[in-house]
Structure 1
Amino acid sequence: MSKVGLIQMTSGPTPDVNLAFIEQQLQLMQADCQQRADWVVLPENAIVFGQKADYHQQAEPLNQGPLQARLAQLAQDYQVWLVVGSFPIRCSQGVKTTCLVFSPQGLLCADYDKLHMFDVDVADGHQRYRESETFVAGDRVVVAQTPLACIGLSICYDLRFPALFQQLRNQGAEVIVVPAAFTYVTGQAHWESLLRARAIETQCWIVAVGQVGTHPCGRQTWGHSMVIDPWGQVVGSLSETAGFITVTIDHQINQTIRASMPVMQHARFDITLNHSKDSN
């Protein structure tokens, strides 16, 4: 078993403000022996949530720069595996939005660049979303190997592509994280349904952590962070306010469900993606 902490946020464009909130939540979480987590997941855009200029201004090369150093220090100070939902990473092609996994020793152990860009129109105040105008899409499927579990990495819009989740299961994932900034409109309509479907299909635990509320840039996000077991049951959730929750994950449930309903052995289709495996 392990205990996961979910920190739901209303992030803005200023990293210092967002980092202060994260540390406050970690202090509260780890000070209570009943709540103390082994690993903690932050939402998408946890450190920077704003416009294209904000992400590009704060972007750092992978595993370099003061913001990533502070995140590594938080993991070390609070002795947790810290999954940073997404962070702007500078690369030769531009800027990627990247999930970072830090060990309790403050080491970067895995990174995943978001594969699917949210280029859609939504019936809300923002209306037009074109993530590809800000970020370069990734090209790898990543399962992070940790002492707690094999953790499959995804980010937000990836949730709508079940082939990715099947590939994560094929590569050994027992838990899949879904850090997100789902819009209020799409979250209300689809968030829980999609999460429960991905849990049932992959027979994995799903740890989904969202942004919530009205952000300084005017965007509205859905929140409702939750943990779902491999049978598709919601075992812990937040609503529409910033804060945290901790949930115990029983990894034995995966094996029990997979043994009694061996869907992977029954599958008649070979799910493949043209992405390289990376299991740091």
Structure 2
Amino acid sequence: MTTSFRLAAAQYDIGFPGNWSAYESKIQLWIQQAADAGAEFLVFPEYFSMELASLFPEPVYKSLSGQLQAMQSLADDFVGLFAQQASINGLHILAGTFPLRLESGNYANRSWLFYPDGSRDYQDKLQMTRFEKEHWLISAGEEIKVINTKFGKIGVSICYDSEFPLIANAQVQAGADLILVPSCTDTLAGYHRVKIGCQARALENQCYVVQSPTVGNAPWSEAVDVNVGAAAVYTPVDYGFPDNGILAQGELNQTQWIYADIDPVMLATVRNTGQVFNYRDWSSQFRFFNTDS
């Protein structure tokens, strides 16, 4: 297992590519820029794939249900593009999320991780926001997963999932030192909810947490018309880490990559010799509660 590696988190602008060739070129440019900067692990945002709705006529991309149905025709191309880019560039790529129709007919908000060898794994979003449940009819995933990589085990907590402590803790207890949080928020308050959740998960689990948001305005889109956020890498707040727990952070609402060097060995050190033992003390907190009826 590699001890340290450079990670890149995208502040990804929702555009209007209009055709597959333009979309493919945009993705290739993003990935090439991160690879040229020495990144080995790339993280894209939640629902960044929704700009693909621009490949269909206006009545489709103006319809919340219509765009979901139409985008299924691009799912294989989307997977193929990121699998190819991961292989060509020798990268691990978390390709944000894509609303995928399952065999049941329900839609899942799926985040695929693509490996350099062409293989892939995924995590489905577990906690649905009101918009997803009430307007988009996206269904919740059923499994909290931990994904193996050469960099160690990782967890994926998609946007709203990051606001629920037990999800990330289950992933960390299963061995994850890195939690990836692709996000998509349309207000400053929404962005801060996810940001606060990410920082809290890093603090209480003494792990790295990475947020990657969509940014910019896309008035043509019924789904991702307003996007607010800043990418960041959060850490424990203890010896060897930044005093504010922020290893790297982008400029709010700007289109950019942010980069950080991730070192799991530092987590082991702080968990054993830190000022506090949040990770170790997690289970002991429950002794304060009487569960007898």
Query: Could you tell me the TM-score, scaled by structure 2's length?
Result: 0.80
Structure-2 separation of matches of 1:182 and 1:192: 11
Structure-2 separation of matches of 1:82 and 1:135: 24
Do the aligned partners of 1:174 and 1:204 also contact (CA within 8 Å) in 2?
yes
Opposite residue 44 of structure 1, the aligned amino acid is E
Q: Report how far residue 77 of structure 1 moved.
A: 1.5
Structure-1 separation of matches of 2:65 and 2:270: 43
Question: What 5-or-longer segments of structure 2 have no aligned partner?
Answer: 54-63, 238-243, 287-293
Rate the CA distance shift 1:152–1:130 in 2: closer, same or farther, 3 A. closer
Which moves more between the two structures, 226-235 or 92-101? 226-235
Do the aligned partners of 1:60 and 1:90 also contact (CA within 8 Å) in 2?
no
2:172 is matched with 169
Do the aligned partners of 1:159 and 1:178 also contact (CA within 8 Å) in 2?
yes
Which structure: greater strand fraction?
1
2:232 is matched with 226
Rate the CA distance shift 1:190–1:27 in 2: closer, same or farther, 3 A. same
What are the equivalent positions in structure 2 for 1:41-52 lying under 5 Å apart?
41-49=43-51, 51-52=64-65
Do the aligned partners of 2:6 and 2:38 also contact (CA within 8 Å) in 1?
yes
Structure-2 separation of matches of 1:174 and 1:190: 22
Structure-2 separation of matches of 1:191 and 1:138: 19
Which moves more between the two structures, 20-29 or 2-11? 20-29
1:209 is matched with 212
Q: Report how far residue 264 of structure 1 moved.
A: 4.0
Do the aligned partners of 1:7 and 1:22 also contact (CA within 8 Å) in 2?
no
Q: Report how far residue 18 of structure 1 moved.
A: 4.3
1:77 is matched with 88
1:96 is matched with 108
User: In the TM superposition, what whole-angstrom CA distance separates every residue of 1:169-209 from its partner, at most 9, and x where no partner exists?
Assistant: 11111000000002223245434322211110111101110
Partner secondary structure for residue 96 of structure 2: strand
Do the aligned partners of 2:40 and 2:91 also contact (CA within 8 Å) in 1?
yes
Equivalent residue for 2:71, pick from 58, 78, 102: 58
Which has the higher Rg, Structure 1 or Structure 2? Answer: 2
1:268 is matched with 284
Do the aligned partners of 1:15 and 1:48 also contact (CA within 8 Å) in 2?
no
Q: Report how far residue 213 of structure 1 moved.
A: 1.4
Partner secondary structure for residue 38 of structure 2: coil
Partner secondary structure for residue 224 of structure 1: coil
Structure-2 separation of matches of 1:269 and 1:7: 36
Q: Report how far residue 21 of structure 1 moved.
A: 2.2
Q: Report how far residue 131 of structure 1 moved.
A: 3.9
User: In the TM superposition, what whole-angstrom CA distance separates every residue of 1:107-130 from its partner, at most 9, and x where no partner exists?
Assistant: 11x2111101111xxxxxxxxx24
Do the aligned partners of 1:83 and 1:99 also contact (CA within 8 Å) in 2?
yes
User: In the TM superposition, what whole-angstrom CA distance separates every residue of 1:33-81 from its partner, at most 9, and x where no partner exists?
Assistant: xx211110110112224633223211269xx722211110011112100
Do the aligned partners of 1:226 and 1:234 also contact (CA within 8 Å) in 2?
yes
Question: Following superposition, which runs of at least 4 residues in structure 1 exceed 6 angstroms of deviation?
Answer: none
Do the aligned partners of 1:174 and 1:205 also contact (CA within 8 Å) in 2?
yes
Opposite residue 277 of structure 2, the aligned amino acid is P
Structure-2 separation of matches of 1:66 and 1:202: 37
Structure-2 separation of matches of 1:104 and 1:154: 22
Q: Report how far residue 269 of structure 1 moved.
A: 5.3
Equivalent residue for 1:143, pick from 125, 146, 151: 146
Superposition CA RMSD, Å: 2.2
Q: Report how far residue 254 of structure 1 moved.
A: 0.9
